[in-house]
Structure 1
Amino acid sequence: MICRWPSVTEPPPLRRRTVIRYGIGSVGTAAFGTLPGLVLVYYLTDTLGVPALAAGALIVVAKIWDVVIDPAIGFVSDRLAAVRGSRRQLMVLGAISLPVAFVVTFSAPGTLPTAAQALWVAAAFLFSATAFSLFQVPFIALPAELTDDYDQRTRLLTVRVVVLSVGILVFGAGGPALRDAGGSEAVGYLLMAVVTGALMGVSMWVSSRAADDARQVVADGAVPMSPARAYWAAIAALRRSRALRMLLGAFVLQGLATGLMLAGAQYVATWVLDSEAAVSALFTALIAPALICAPLWGAIARRRGKEYGFIAATVLFAVAAISLTGLWWSSGVWVYGSVAIAGAAYAGMQSLPLAMLPDVIGHDEARHGESSAGTIGGVWTAGETSGMALGSVLFTVALAVGGYISSDEPGAVTQPGSALDAMVVGFSVLPAALALLSVPLIVRYPLRRNSSDPRSEERAAGD
């Protein structure tokens, strides 16, 4: 069990050093959250020649592994925090191992048959996903332990999302640019992976120092649970916390939506906009508004509440996504305007639920009597990464239904009209529908600014 110092009426503000260290970690999470979703499926289908459904199946395997391993990592994270007083060890291990695994993922030997190359990528991506979870699970648990204050958590997570938005812009636009600068596809993907891996490792190591600022002490007589009970603890957390169920459900649905758009960007750029390089412009249009709007969503949260801003951002994203159905008739510059509006909404869809999660963790601790920050962080990471990755899988299903032709020589292929239609549906209609499906869950989210009473969720649920 982890205990925190008792809260006071006016808790001291977070130190700038802590906020900066924590925010820098989003450079690494932006890279791993963006580039695999953006280029991995395309790498499999249009560089290695793997069929679209097979490419999607490889990603599904890695995400199933995420769901299995993340609660266990949450257990280890809680154990380290209880016994050693810090979650940093896991974060450092992830920072060291992820760059290596990421480089291996994009360096499948060209001399191997296609099936062997696909297995190479699958195994390396599985290793990458594990390494990322070693960092991400304790990273998510930290805000609840860095401060008890509602608004300070919003400040901390707003900074994180601003850095995340910058990272997505840099890696989303710069990653494909590095790939294209490599001379050949094999060299280009390797160059992209090496540069990205190095930046991920450094940013994650710097961010791990924030774990030293968490206000944790070892409880007398605390006995961490066994690994076998970690999964039951994750299920128990979901069962007892309505707030966690509603917030995670909404975030997973939105992860599917953004994962679809992320996976579809390269295909839409190549086949609908007739420019493979246009993916960098699409990313600039998506993320530049997010840099401006992330602080605005924080201001809305302080004035009206986090859940209000979350709903507004989600509806705005859905409207922007559905407007992209215009790609059926025209592929002009108007597309970048719709993507920019989606980017403005995306800033709120990222910053606000992440600012709400520490409230859920603190509320659960107040009701449950002990901290489950690592366990809840593991559950959240499993849902977050699975949502984004399964969005990519849904896009591969749409491609397969549309008759997309995979080839290791894409310049020699002409895609049928049905495949182009599938790209537009996966880039617009499906993301909009998933975003709107998440709104009822946000409406039912029970915690508000005055939800410090652990019985408030019970009353809200009608218990």
Structure 2
Amino acid sequence: MKALKLKELVSYGVGDAGQALIGTLIGFYQLYYFTDILRLPLGSIAGLFMLTKILDSASFPLFGLMLDRVSGGVGAFLKWRLWLVIPFFVVSVLLFTYDPNWSTEFRIIYAYAVVSLFVVLSALISVVYTSLVSSIATQASDRARLSTVRFVFAFGASTLATFFIKYLVDYLGGKTGGGFQSVAFIFSIMATGLLYITMSATRNRTVARPDEPPHGIGSAFAIVRNPMFLGPVVATFFAGLFVAFKSQMTLYFINYAMNREDIGNFMLAGGTISCAIGVGLVGFVINRINRKSLYVVLMALNALFVGAIYFVDRSNIYTIIAFHCLNSALGGACSPVIFSIYSDVVDYLDETLNFRAPALVNSVAMLAGRLGGSLGMVLTPVGLAISQYHPNQQQTSGSILGIALMFTLVPGLFAFISAMAMVTYKLTNRASEDISERLAGEAG
């Protein structure tokens, strides 16, 4: 079996770069935009994230089942995705569009409607994109390379985005003058072009067995109950919690706990650069070291360094930035490892359960991450409210303590639980390669 060519690896990776541009803008600035620009009540924001994420959670398994049932495999579904990119582009812009004359009630209704549309479209695109790994590559080592490449591009794009977003917002109209909307427009155009490159330059290499029955709810339950799948799913859920708390609270920690708004761009960019470095470095060992052990060690160290920030004096910015970059590199390195593990699980389930369901496996995996992220996005505004945070004001010692905890020890705890959850996963790299070779032999 021939290894994937560089052209196809790069073409797959640029798609995640496009999605990362929008994801970075939303991940770092959506909560801030809702509280300080759109000025939505904290309670309504918590409700917004909860209700829309319920919709998000329902979308992933349904789309996964639908995708695996489509005749012709993932390749046929890519035609559907052509019609999803433009609506995704429009809704991404609407997320950062508002009129200062709108009433509070209308702003809340508008936010609920637009975020709901966004999560559905995002789920559809994400399921197709992630499941492509198991369809583009037939070898476990190639799937690991694809997972590494996609995150190199994703974190590279995220690095550029975090560094330039603030400057672009200020240049294109300011926080309240349409700056965020203009940035969303530019990023959406770029994401659309990059996603089209992915769709046009990749192809499906695996097909379902001719006698394989259509996947249904029973297939989903069989996958979820499988002990080889449970460990990665739980790990992904808590990793999602970690990411949500860390990313949502970064600006608050910089602006209020450190009182150093001037270093915000550099700290954000440093974190994403470190993520990209971590992804690049782990690519050298992802096929040499047992992926389970690699994930456990990386995520445990991630928990250690993010928690350590709490005990550093706020004026010691160099140590804080160093620890922030270290945990970002470690956390970033975990991403291709866990997604390559899911690709291995697809083959494992194919051999043991006699049906191939890359979209269903990856959709449940993404559902776990989204549920963790959704819970984190609900809990962060609740935590701010409990801490008596008030936007654009001098904060009390209690609110600063709450912000510091939600940026350090709380996500550190979630990262540690994520590491421990992988203890139940038993599939080794050698076993994954053997399964891939047997399946390829049967297909041939």
Q: Same fold (TM over 0.5)?
A: yes
Q: Kindly tell me: are residues 304 and 223 of structure 1, through their superposed partners in 2, closer, same or farther at Cα, counting changes over 3 Å?
A: closer
Q: Kindly tell me: are residues 197 and 132 of structure 1, through their superposed partners in 2, closer, same or farther at Cα, counting changes over 3 Å?
A: same
Where 2:430 maps in the other structure, the secondary structure is: coil
2:388 aligned with 1:403: yes
Corresponding position of 1:123: 113
Letter in 2 for 1:74: G
Corresponding position of 2:429: 449
> Which of 407, 411, 418 is the matching residue for 1:438?
418
Q: CA deviation at 1:223?
A: 5.5
Q: Kindly tell me: are residues 329 and 270 of structure 1, through their superposed partners in 2, closer, same or farther at Cα, counting changes over 3 Å?
A: closer
Where 2:342 maps in the other structure, the secondary structure is: helix
Q: How high is the TM-score relative to the length of structure 1? A: 0.88
Corresponding position of 2:438: none
**How big is each residue's C-alpha offset from its partner over 1:169-199, in whole Å with a ceiling of 9 and x where there is no partner?**
1222322332232333231111121112112
> Which of 174, 177, 183 is the matching residue for 2:164?
174
Where 2:117 maps in the other structure, the secondary structure is: helix
2:173 aligned with 1:193: no
Residues 285 and 337 of structure 1 are in contact (CA less than 8 Å); yes or no, is this contact kept in structure 2? no
> Which of 116, 127, 137 is the matching residue for 1:147?
137
Where 2:384 maps in the other structure, the secondary structure is: helix
Letter in 1 for 2:69: R
Residues 328 and 424 of structure 1 are in contact (CA less than 8 Å); yes or no, is this contact kept in structure 2? no
Residues 144 and 358 of structure 1 are in contact (CA less than 8 Å); yes or no, is this contact kept in structure 2? yes
Where 2:408 maps in the other structure, the secondary structure is: helix
Q: Kindly tell me: are residues 357 and 90 of structure 1, through their superposed partners in 2, closer, same or farther at Cα, counting changes over 3 Å?
A: farther
Would you identify which runs of 4 or more consecutive aligned residues in structure 1 move more than 3 Å? 81-85, 216-225, 275-278, 326-331
Where 2:429 maps in the other structure, the secondary structure is: coil
Residues 173 and 179 of structure 2 are in contact (CA less than 8 Å); yes or no, is this contact kept in structure 1? yes
1:234-313 matches, cutoff 5 A: 234-239=220-225, 241-276=226-261, 278-313=263-298
CA distance in 2, matches of 1:303, 1:360: 18
2:58 aligned with 1:68: yes
Residues 93 and 134 of structure 1 are in contact (CA less than 8 Å); yes or no, is this contact kept in structure 2? no
CA distance in 2, matches of 1:385, 1:314: 18
Residues 254 and 438 of structure 1 are in contact (CA less than 8 Å); yes or no, is this contact kept in structure 2? yes
Q: Kindly tell me: are residues 73 and 60 of structure 1, through their superposed partners in 2, closer, same or farther at Cα, counting changes over 3 Å?
A: same
Residues 91 and 139 of structure 1 are in contact (CA less than 8 Å); yes or no, is this contact kept in structure 2? no
Corresponding position of 2:397: 417
Q: CA deviation at 1:22?
A: 1.0
Q: CA deviation at 1:236?
A: 2.8
Letter in 2 for 1:300: V
**How big is each residue's C-alpha offset from its partner over 1:124-163, in whole Å with a ceiling of 9 and x where there is no partner?**
1111111111111011111112223222211111111111
Q: CA deviation at 1:328?
A: 6.0
CA distance in 1, matches of 2:334, 2:285: 13
Corresponding position of 1:459: none
Letter in 1 for 2:394: T
Corresponding position of 2:439: none
> Which of 337, 343, 365 is the matching residue for 1:358?
343
**How big is each residue's C-alpha offset from its partner over 1:251-272, in whole Å with a ceiling of 9 and x where there is no partner?**
1101111110100011122222
**How big is each residue's C-alpha offset from its partner over 1:189-244, in whole Å with a ceiling of 9 and x where there is no partner?**
11121112112212222222355x1113465466535xxx45x53333111x2222
CA distance in 2, matches of 1:361, 1:381: 14
CA distance in 2, matches of 1:139, 1:82: 16
Corresponding position of 1:90: 80
CA distance in 2, matches of 1:393, 1:89: 35
Letter in 2 for 1:108: Y
CA distance in 2, matches of 1:184, 1:377: 39
Corresponding position of 2:198: 207
Q: Kindly tell me: are residues 329 and 170 of structure 1, through their superposed partners in 2, closer, same or farther at Cα, counting changes over 3 Å?
A: closer
CA distance in 1, matches of 2:30, 2:414: 22
Q: CA deviation at 1:64?
A: 1.0
Corresponding position of 1:4: none
Identity value in percent: 20
1:367-382 matches, cutoff 5 A: 367-382=352-367
Corresponding position of 1:393: 378
CA distance in 2, matches of 1:208, 1:60: 32
CA distance in 2, matches of 1:262, 1:90: 32
Q: CA deviation at 1:310?
A: 0.8
Q: Kindly tell me: are residues 129 and 348 of structure 1, through their superposed partners in 2, closer, same or farther at Cα, counting changes over 3 Å?
A: same
Number of positions where the alignment pairs a residue of Structure 1 with one of Structure 2: 433
2:116 aligned with 1:112: no
Letter in 1 for 2:139: D
CA distance in 2, matches of 1:449, 1:233: 25
CA distance in 2, matches of 1:447, 1:367: 13
Q: Kindly tell me: are residues 217 and 304 of structure 1, through their superposed partners in 2, closer, same or farther at Cα, counting changes over 3 Å?
A: closer
Residues 236 and 365 of structure 2 are in contact (CA less than 8 Å); yes or no, is this contact kept in structure 1? no
**How big is each residue's C-alpha offset from its partner over 1:369-413, in whole Å with a ceiling of 9 and x where there is no partner?**
12111111221222223323332222212211101124xxx2xx2
Where 1:300 maps in the other structure, the secondary structure is: coil
> Which of 229, 233, 236 is the matching residue for 2:219?
233
Q: CA deviation at 1:120?
A: 0.8
Letter in 2 for 1:134: L
Where 2:76 maps in the other structure, the secondary structure is: coil
RMSD of aligned alpha carbons: 2.1
CA distance in 2, matches of 1:135, 1:23: 14
Letter in 2 for 1:323: A
